[in-house]
Amino acid sequence: MGVERARFVPGDDSSAVKIDGTALAAAVKDDLRLRVDALKARGIAPGLGTILVGANPGSLSYVAGKHRDCAEVGIESIRIDLPDTATEDEIRRAIETMNADPAVTAFIIQLPLPAGIDPTAMLELMDPAKDADGLHPVNLGELVLAVPGGKGSIDTPLPCTPRGIVEMLHAYDIPIAGTHVTIIGQGLTVGRPLGLLLTRLEATATLTHSRTVDVAAEVRRADIVVAAAGVAGLVKPDWVKPGAAVIDVGITRVQNEETGKYKLRGDVDPAVAAVAGFQSPVPGGVGPMTRAMLLKNVVEAAERP
């Protein structure tokens, strides 16, 4: 992928190797740029559509970033922006427009949607073949049905963050098959699909949640830890097996009481780096790879016959 690889050594108590998501994402984009050029030479112009409802600052920023990423690799952008007063019927019509538009190779419905709008019902209206986020029930069902052991390809879009995490592990030669993985969080976008994907790759995956009796005990026996709880600094050094690979998905804005300034913090205490074998930073870890996988899903959709 164009980055220096390090081999995972269980039990190595040296300072953790940083899993550089920014560098990995740049390498993915370099590859995608070439593939987009090849598609355009065949008369195929990949396009990403976005449906944004309302003016949530985070959503506005995420959507703008996705379209900037598209421009970097030559993917066309198609946007439908609706006010936060949009009705369910108006959102349905926007989805129907994206489904029917030949310029839209794949698209996303930016979440969260306004109160009173059922996101699952909206996702179900999408053409599964145009699902850039890999969250349509049909595509998640394909992941459930996928053959264990990773034999054969999955020809439907994969959820972006889980796919990005797996590519990060592969890029740093961190074994998956035969390992124990503890995932903190069981959300739709990360925990649940990641558990399915890792199980397919012959890991033993444990999902923890708010009712798990002893999360720390589950983490301590893991070769790979994925923290996706959205609680800043949750994972402490004494939770982590020496040499484990720690992937930090969480991102929280934490205010400095003295300066009043905000800083992004992950779910993993920075001191974990003294114990872990590998650790992804926040920012610059999972986030860039999630966005790169969205682009990859679009390009792969365009490449399918």
Whether 263 and 181 share a structural domain: yes
Is 49 inside any structural domain?
Answer: yes
Q: Output the domain CATH number for residue 91.
A: 3.40.50.10860
Q: Which residues are catalytic?
A: 66, 110, 133
Is 251 inside any structural domain?
Answer: yes
Q: Output the domain CATH number for residue 216.
A: 3.40.50.720
What total number of domains does the chain contain?
2
**Closest listed residue to residue 227, CA positions, set 188, 280, 179, 176:** 280
Whether 274 and 195 share a structural domain: yes
Alpha helix stretches (DSSP H) within the chain: 21-41, 57-73, 88-100, 119-124, 137-145, 160-171, 191-200, 215-220, 286-303
Per-residue pLDDT at 14: 53
Is the pLDDT at 8 greater than 50? The verdict is: no
Whether 195 and 121 share a structural domain: no
Is 9 inside any structural domain?
Answer: no
What is the per-residue pLDDT across 223-271, written as a single tens digit (0 to 9) for each?
999 999 999 999 999 999 999 999 999 999 898 888 889 999 999 999 9
Quick one: how many helices (H) and strands (E) in the chain?
9, 11
Q: How far is CA 170 from CA 1, 9, 64, 91, 164, in A?
A: 10, 14, 29, 38, 10
Query: Domain range holding 99?
Result: 42-127
Is 6 inside any structural domain?
Answer: no
Q: Average pLDDT, stretch 78-83?
A: 98
Whether 109 and 187 share a structural domain: no
Whether 122 and 194 share a structural domain: no
Burial of 301 (C-beta count, 10 Å sphere; 0-12/13-18/19+): buried
| Percent of the chain whose predicted confidence (pLDDT) is above 70 | 93
Q: CA 146 from chain center: how many Å?
A: 19
Q: Which of 127, 161, 193 is the last residue of a domain?
A: 127
Is 192 inside any structural domain?
Answer: yes
Whether 123 and 176 share a structural domain: no
Is the pLDDT at 10 greater than 60? The verdict is: no
Is 70 inside any structural domain?
Answer: yes
Is 33 inside any structural domain?
Answer: no
Q: Binning pLDDT at 50, 70 and 90, where does residue 177 land?
A: very high
Per-residue pLDDT at 287: 95
Whether 280 and 177 share a structural domain: yes
Whether 176 and 123 share a structural domain: no
Whether 192 and 123 share a structural domain: no
Q: Which of 102, 127, 152 is the last residue of a domain?
A: 127
Whether 182 and 107 share a structural domain: no
- Beta strands 278-279 and 245-248 are parallel
Q: Average pLDDT, stretch 7-17?
A: 58
Is 297 inside any structural domain?
Answer: no
